[in-house]
Structure 1
Amino acid sequence: MQVPPLYSALKKDGQRLSTLMKRGEVVEAKPARPVTVYSISLQKFQPPFFTLDVECGGGFYIRSLVSDIGKELSSCANVLELTRTKQGPFTLEEHALPEDKWTIDDIAQSLEHCSSLFPAELALKKSKPESNEQVLSCEYITLNEPKREDDVIKTC
């Protein structure tokens, strides 16, 4: 069980708790809820710093875990760096483009590799701007079909 932090995307009456807190409103903590942790491993320990590798389910708050570790040690702890390495079927190694590949052609090619994840009727097409410049903009990567309210994939 984990108590979600007050500064989170969770909502009360349709507004994020973090927004309410920033306005100075009093916000009650949400009740603890079940979370899934598949693995936690200590990757590096160089006091006072440590590096963890955590594989967890959705809704798990890494910053809360680190805070809890600090409390258990009768101390404090905070997150210096946090990297999401996997989200659903996407991994950093397989799906993140290095900065030198941030061109419209490379992005379109990357999206084509993910086409099996899109519904068949939402096949991607690529159109280029009129000039010869390499332009990075989602407006040039469009869906073949008009957007509907319930589309799984949203364009930028």
Structure 2
Amino acid sequence: MINTFVTLFWRKRRLAQAAERLEDRGFRVIRLEPGQWNTERDMHRAMAAALDFPDYYGHNLDALNDCLGEVACYGGYDDAPEGTGLVFTDYDRFATTCPRAAQVVLDIIADQARQAVVLRRRLICLVQSNDPQIRFEPVGAMPVMWNSDEWADGNRG
């Protein structure tokens, strides 16, 4: 997770271990299940509920960027600790049904994470995929990389 704000995982066990390490270090870890999102609207509902977005949240990608900025840079709307970890499971399913939104969500997270660093805050996103060959375009001008234990293609087979 040291090279990027968005890190891919194939094995759910490794994802769980990484999330536990974040919790042990004082991060507020928010677990979401994109595998259950069939539409972009489903994603917005889940993100708004999990991140306690305000009632005026617009349920679009611009609004996601704005409200996630509050979470990343200022601790959100509920007095979050110094860092936030977003944990996505089964992201490949959402990426298949809503490819553009799936890419943009990761890009927004990476961009907000980079801005948060300037304010000495941390936002990290752990993304689990059942597709060991999944690839994303760079997000926040950085590649979406596999975790160090699974970076080699042979370690995901």
Q: TM over 0.5, yes or no? A: no
Q: Which has the higher helix share?
A: 2
Give the TM-score taking structure 2 as reference length: 0.24
Give the TM-score taking structure 1 as reference length: 0.24
Structure of higher RCO (CA pairs closer than 8 Å, 6+ residues apart)? 2
Greater Cα radius of gyration, structure 1 or 2: 1
